[in-house]
Amino acid sequence: MAALPPSDRRPWRDRWSPNGEWVLLFALVLETAVFSAFGRNFFTLGNFFEVVRLSVELGLLALALTPVMITGGIDLSVGSMMALAAVVFGAAWRDAGLPAGAAIALALLAGCAGGALNALLITGLGIPPIIVTLGSFSMFRGIAEGITRGAANYSNFPKALVMLGQGYWWGVLPVQLPILAAAIAAYAVLLHRSAIGRTLYAVGFSPAGARYAGIRVARRVALVYFLSGLAASVAAIVYVAHLGQAKSDAGTGYELAAITAVVLGGTSVSGGRGTVWGTLLGLFSITILQNGLRLAALPSELTGVLTGAVLVLAIVLGRLRSSPRARTSEATTPMKNSQLAILCAVIVAAALLVAGTNIWLVRSLRPPGAAASPAGSTGGRRPVIAMMPKAKGDPYFTSCRTGAEEAARETNVDLIWDGPTGLDPARQNEVVESWITRRVDAIAVSVENQAGISTVLRKARERGIRVLTWDADAAPDARDYFINQATPEGIGFTLTDEAARLLGGRGEFAIVTGALSAANQNQWIAFIRRRLAAQYPHLKLLDIRPSDDDRDKAFAETQTILKVHPNARLIMGIAAPAVPGAAEAVRQSGRKDVYVIGLSLPNLCKRYVHDGVVQSVVLWNTRDLGYLTVYTAARLTGNAIPAGATSFAAGRLGTIEVRGDQVILGKPFIFNRANIDQFDF
């Protein structure tokens, strides 16, 4: 007999936690202890509730996935379902003019319908859950993108709704807490205190056995997928209220985070084992890790590395503990433990060696000045300036960082550089929240979602933190100054004018954008269209294709454009990786009559500019942008910029103009063969 179903004859330790959650509890305590020691304001009641607030959406998904995985299934579509429900809500509220209550009902209905579709395909047709939900994973988000055409962003919701995601009961308790509590209670009763719950374990343990025992397997399985769709739509409403916006990129990547939490909590991926408590432990060990790393000003990439390590460790340890009984019944390998240990050690060492040499190699290639990073230490009374890019690991923002660090050294401040590592639009809010908790002196944000982040920036200002925006602006009352390197209007118009100049005002062209739902790019496209309509009636925009910020995808899309639209005379790439991708495609096609222009980094395009494939690249000096942002923030924290100032001295940049509440860096710059070699970023 493999793993016995929990029975009362087992020791109390196992009864209390049948899945080895002890390991996890220990990790949780360890995390808390470490971050209490190293993080600023980590061990406070306020921060505790912040962590809970950030866990609500993910928690709802993880709770819904627990019974799904207990029955031996999986639901990859929950994140996409969130996007669909959010967009349905937004469309019903704004476009159809329904009251918010009715729109919420409609969104929940959409969630139920999505869950029912999954359930129908899985139980009605007997297709494996992973295949069904892999399909609906694409389809749900696809429908959301189709409805909004990627761009529509519903915001300005009624106050009552926004309170649901951002308000507090009695000043401390997040409003959405009861929703999570209710969901926890409901799932705990369903799984651990009801007959249906017992049958779910039976189904996961052995579907055939369950059927012989008289359980209606299909109905039970259908129920959990249906509930999963419903829970995803509830999460979507909370998410919309939390961010104050509904868009087709809602919940990107949440399915994997939720699955990680569930698996970390000891739920068996093959079914039959798992608890609500385990899932909660898994959930909080992830969110506390994220929160703690931010408060300790450690790079957020560590979250991924550490989560991975904890995930494997928790399960290996859990397995060692649950040992001989389970081990003998399971598949035994004809291999001794000592051999196994040696083999594992060798492989781990080899992997570390590869990783280590990679790190060393990459570091060795970097110019010596850039390697030193002053971020991290927070001792003394030096002002702390926290700066956030839209995405970490994007070469554009990496070059801004170089300038930011330079200014931090000159002005003698501490710089924290952190931001989202993925495409999830809620992440920026979470980082700002933790900076407020940490009480930094100034925050500078490159805004991804204007509607979403403005409320949290206002909160920061209320707490006396100076707030700047750079690269992309928030609502004007949510920040002190905007470091204006170029307006969307300026970028859109400059690109269109450049295209018109090359084509002589007449011809057809196509755009390769970033992700279809990217806010900035969609703004630029709107201004490009406006300029075309107003000034260039003979210039025709043929098609807009996504590159998802992937050079290889931009390459393939451009190849297709060139064949589908042989008349296209110009390709405009409006994301940093899109221009080199498009340029390589044009070069390999051998077409000499197609121009490539766009918005990108000079270093990525230098070769193509010299080879005459790319005619011009529009951008500003990114290093100066980072420099000016930190310089302004440092002056602001020292109160060195009086209200109403029209200019100030910004170090090596000389005198910089201040226009109202905007600090002006200059106009977008056009790089071409004549000048591109003078720039290195």
Partner 1 sequence: MRQTMRHVMLDSHRREISLVAAILAIAAVMAIAAPGFFTWGNERDLVMANLPVLIVALGMTLVILTGQIDISVGSQFAICSVAAGVFARLGMPTPAACLAACLAGAAMGALNGALIAYARVPSIVVTLATMVALRDGLRWVTEGAWVADLPRTFQWFGRSQAASEGIAMAVAALLAAGIGWGLRHLAAGRAVYATGSSARAARLAGIRPAHVIFAVLALTGALTGCAAGLNAVRFNQVPANAGLGLEMQTIAAVIVGGTAVTGGRGGIVGTLLGVALLGIIGPALTYLGISAYWERALQGGIILAAVAMDAVRVHAREHGSLAAERS
The least CB distance from residue 274 to partner 1, in Å, is 13
| DSSP, res 481 | E
Our CB check for partner 1 shows the closer of 452 and 602 to be 602
- C-beta closer to partner 1: residue 215 or 604: 604
What the block records as the tokens of 506 is 């007449």
Which residue has tokens 């910029």? 641
CB of 259 to partner 1, least distance (A): 7
Task: Kindly report the number of other CB atoms within 10 A of residue 465's CB atom.
Answer: 21
- CA–CA distance, 406 with 389 (Å, rounded to integer): 16
Q: Which is nearer to partner 1, 57 or 549 (CB)?
A: 549
d(CA 374, CA 377): 7
- Residue placing its CB nearer to partner 1 in the complex, 47 or 136: 136
Residue 34 CA to residue 259 CA, distance in Å, equals 26
CB of 305 to partner 1, least distance (A): 5
Shorter beta-carbon distance to partner 1: residue 100 or 556:
556
| Packing angle of the helix pair 395-411, 622-637 (nearest 10 deg) | 40
* Least Å from the CB of residue 504 to partner 1: 27
DSSP β-bridge partners for residue 539 = 507
Q: Which residue's CB is nearer to partner 1, number 493 or number 627? A: 627
Residues 6+ away with beta carbon under 8 Å from 586:
558, 562, 571, 594, 596, 613
Task: Select 44 or 339, whichever has its Cβ closest to partner 1.
Answer: 339
Contact 70, 267 (CB under 8 A): yes
Find the shortest distance in angstroms from Cβ 567 to partner 1. 13
Q: Name the nearest CA neighbour of 425 among 449, 445, 447, 446.
A: 449
Q: How far is CA 408 from CA 169, 325, 383, 628, in A?
A: 39, 59, 10, 10
Point out which residues pair with 445 in neighbouring strands: 388, 469
Which ranges of 155-250 does DSSP label H, i.e. alpha helix?
A: 159-166, 177-192, 195-205, 207-212, 217-243
* Smallest separation, CB 315 to partner 1 (Å): 5
> In terms of CB distance, is 233 or 260 closer to partner 1?
260
Closest approach of partner 1 to the CB of residue 658, in Å: 31
CA distance 655 to 25: 56
Please, what is the minimum distance in Å from the beta carbon of residue 355 to partner 1?
7
Q: How far is the CB of 353 from partner 1 (least distance, A)?
A: 8
Nearer to partner 1, 286 or 457 (CB): 286
H-assigned helices in 120-158: 129-148
